[in-house]
Amino acid sequence: MSDLSERYRAYLAALNERRLDDLVEYVQDELTYNGAALTRPEYQAMLAGDVEAIPDLFFDARIIVATEDRIACRILFDCKPEKEFLGFTPDGGRFLFAEHVFYRFVGGRIAAVDSLIDRHAIAEQLQARRS
């Protein structure tokens, strides 16, 4: 049975190439994001907001664990936010941080996302540059 890794890499490529309208191929009409119900347009708007705040946002998948209906991914970000993001006010510098995220797919499209972003690393980098 084939796993979802190639499909997931195609999803990340769509994000990295800013083809957000292609999300219809990879995301269910309705999904949950950290337990909250979202429509795909709402999910797309959330990602569009991330990219607006962080124009050089690049999803760099470092570990992908894939089965037939699940993906877990460790993603590294090395980016320069230009607007407020995750409640942080950018200071003009770069940030290096990880996201550890789980996806459940139904019919080849994402139905549930459980994401943890390393806000602690972001806070520490801001703090280190302030002092």
Q: Rule CB under 8 A: which residues touch a second copy?
A: 3, 63, 65-67, 70-72, 74, 98, 100-102, 114, 116, 118-120
Distance in angstroms (rounded) separating the CA atoms of residues 63 and 73: 5
The nearer residue to a second copy, 26 or 103, going by C-beta atoms, is 103
CA 131 to chain centre: 30
The nearer residue to a second copy, 35 or 92, going by C-beta atoms, is 35
Tell me how far, at minimum, the Cβ of 18 lies from a second copy, in Å. 26
Q: Where are the beta strands (DSSP E) in the chain?
A: 27-33, 36-39, 60-66, 70-79, 95-106, 109-117
Tell me how far, at minimum, the Cβ of 119 lies from a second copy, in Å. 5
Tell me how far, at minimum, the Cβ of 117 lies from a second copy, in Å. 8
The nearer residue to a second copy, 13 or 63, going by C-beta atoms, is 63
Tokens of 97: 């941080």
Tell me how far, at minimum, the Cβ of 66 lies from a second copy, in Å. 7
Q: Phi-psi bin for 47: left (phi > 0), alpha (psi -120 to 50), beta? A: alpha
The nearer residue to a second copy, 70 or 80, going by C-beta atoms, is 70
